Every structure is written in structure tokens, then in C-alpha cells.
């Protein structure tokens, strides 16, 4: 198992990465603003079920396989980019109503959960972390690598639940005025849609750079 110094460095590095908003955080924040605290927390749980998939894949060696195959890595990246772009287009489409249009129907808890799951399974930020960053904190001299990856992955998930849960609580606490204003809702949909599109485009272009 990694020593305490390595674990401390891993925790510090993980927190630095988690606190930088990415697709998963954006999804949690927009859902928290749109539907409240419980929706944000359900979305967060879905996101981190997706983290479990990344941990399991890394421990089983799938991440190493993806890292070794430019084609496989590109497929994962482009799937993630396509899903982010689809979310962005859907957000922008909510602007079609008039100025006095009512808010769109709230998504069900199951839909929030599974959308969060898909967002993080196809999240380029999380994929890159498990492909390139996490293995740096393993040491074959200290035992089998798979259990080390599992331990580090569990730490990642616990820290992610804490940080993303804080984002959900903060966003829902500030959301009352936004949910009460049709204009503010439209601006939120427009802003989040543009950000999703930007993240999707960035993921696609980064994938091209990796392939090159």
C-alpha cells in the first residue's frame, strides 16, 4: 500500500483537481439551481457512481489499455465530447419559449441520477485523471498495484462526494431568486448550455491533439 507521505500528496493533488469545476461539477450546480438541494445531491451520487466505474476500470487494467491505444482513448474522448455537446444543445433549446414561459418540467430523481452517472463515465477530466495521474501514486515495490489503485480510487470518491456535495449545497442555497425569475432561468440555461458546448469542443480538440 502507498505510504502516508504518498497518500498525503495524493489527497492534496486530488483536492486541487476536484475543486476546479469540470463537466460533473457544472452538471451538479445547474441541477441544484434548477431543482434544489435534493436534486443536486442525487445528481452528485450519480456522478460518483460513475467514479466507481473509473476506479474499477483502472484496477482491472482497462485504463492502461486505453492509455496504450490511441484509437480507444480517442473513442472515449469523443463519446464524452458528444454527450457534453448534446447537453449544451438541449439547454440552449429551452430558450424557445416566450418571455413569460413557465419553467420546464422538473427531471425525475432517477433521470438526474443516471444523467450524472453518464456525465462522469464520459467525463474527460476524470478519464485523464485515472489514465495518467493516479498511477503515479502507485508503487509496485509496495505490493500489487490493483489494491493500491482501489484504495486511491476510494479516497478520490470520498473527497469527490465532499467537494461536489459542497457545490450542490452552495448552489441550491443561492438558487431561490434564480428559480423565481423566468429571465434568470433563461440566462442560466443559456450560460450552462454555452459552457457545456465549450467543454465538449475542448474535449474533442484535446482528443485530436492526443491522437496527433
Domain layout of the chain by residue ranges: 4-211
Global pTM value = 0.67
pLDDT at 103: 43
pLDDT tens for the chain, 212 residues long, are 767 888 888 888 788 777 767 778 888 888 888 788 899 999 999 999 999 998 888 888 766 666 666 676 667 667 766 766 777 787 777 654 433 334 445 778 888 999 889 888 887 667 767 776 677 777 777 777 788 888 999 999 999 999 999 999 988 887 765 555 566 566 666 766 776 677 667 656 654 544 44
The three three-digit cell numbers of residue 18, written as one number? 476536484
pLDDT at 155: 93
Cα dist from 141 to 3, 8, 10, 55, whole Å: 11, 19, 18, 21
pLDDT at 206: 54
pLDDT at 99: 34
pLDDT at 48: 93
pLDDT at 52: 93
* C-alpha radius of gyration, the chain, whole number: 18
Give one DSSP letter per residue of 107-159, joined into a string.
Answer: PPHHHHHHHHHHHHHT-HHHHHIIIIIGGGG--GGGS-HHHHHHHHHHHHHHH
The three three-digit cell numbers of residue 206, written as one number? 484535446
Amino acid at each position: 500500500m502507498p505510504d502516508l507521505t504518498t497518500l498525503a500528496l495524493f489527497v492534496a493533488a486530488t483536492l486541487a483537481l476536484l475543486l476546479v469545476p469540470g463537466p460533473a461539477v457544472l452538471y451538479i450546480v445547474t441541477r441544484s439551481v434548477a431543482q434544489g438541494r435534493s436534486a443536486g445531491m442525487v445528481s452528485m451520487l450519480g456522478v460518483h457512481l460513475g467514479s466507481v466505474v473509473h476506479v474499477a476500470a483502472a484496477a482491472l487494467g482497462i485504463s492502461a489499455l486505453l492509455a496504450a491505444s490511441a484509437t480507444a482513448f480517442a473513442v472515449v474522448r469523443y463519446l464524452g465530447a458528444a454527450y457534453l455537446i448534446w447537453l449544451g444543445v438541449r439547454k440552449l433549446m429551452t430558450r424557445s419559449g416566450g418571455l413569460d414561459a413557465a419553467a420546464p418540467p422538473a427531471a425525475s430523481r432517477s433521470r438526474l441520477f443516471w444523467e450524472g452517472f453518464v456525465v462522469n463515465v464520459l467525463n474527460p477530466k476524470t478519464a485523464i485523471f485515472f489514465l495518467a495521474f493516479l498511477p503515479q501514486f502507485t508503487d509496485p515495490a509496495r505490493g500489487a498495484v490493483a489494491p493500491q489503485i482501489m484504495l486511491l480510487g476510494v479516497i478520490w470518491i470520498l473527497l469527490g462526494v465532499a467537494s461536489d456535495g459542497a457545490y450542490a449545497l452552495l448552489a441550491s442555497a443561492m438558487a431561490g431568486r434564480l428559480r423565481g425569475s423566468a429571465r434568470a432561468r433563461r440566462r442560466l440555461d443559456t450560460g450552462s448550455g454555452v459552457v457545456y458546448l465549450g467543454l465538449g469542443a475542448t474535449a474533442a480538440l484535446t482528443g485530436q491533439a492526443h491522437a496527433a
